[in-house]
Amino acid sequence: MKYHIYILRCADNTYYTGFATDVEKRLAEHNSGKGAKYTRGRTPCTLVYTESFEDRSSAMKREWEIKHRLSREEKERLISSK
């Protein structure tokens, strides 16, 4: 099983970073209001970045790094690098 981190651009132009095994399904959950509390009321959300990992631990570490260590500018550079 592959594990993925993803970055969404919300309707208010903010970013949300998450973790999932099925990114498309998770995006649909966010856009239907059943995703994270942060994305509710900020829909529609657009998928702008993904990374894949072989193990859950690596994916969760990367998610934390992106969420808590990268500035908005650094996230934008990451997004445009793909």
Residue 42 belongs to domain with CATH number: 3.40.1440.10
Q: Are 30 and 8 in contact (CB under 8 A)?
A: yes
Nearest to 20 by CA among 63, 76, 64, 67: 63
Which residue range is the domain that position 59 belongs to?
3-81
Report the domain count for the chain: 1
Q: Are 53 and 65 in contact (CB under 8 A)?
A: no
Half-sphere exposure of residue 6, counting CA atoms within 13 Å on the CB side?
20
Structure tokens at 3: 């594990």
**Is 0.85 surpassed by the pTM of this model?**
yes
Structure tokens at 8: 């969404």
Which pLDDT tens digits describe the chain residue by residue (82 residues)? 899 999 999 999 999 999 999 999 999 999 999 999 999 999 999 999 999 999 999 999 999 999 999 999 999 999 999 7
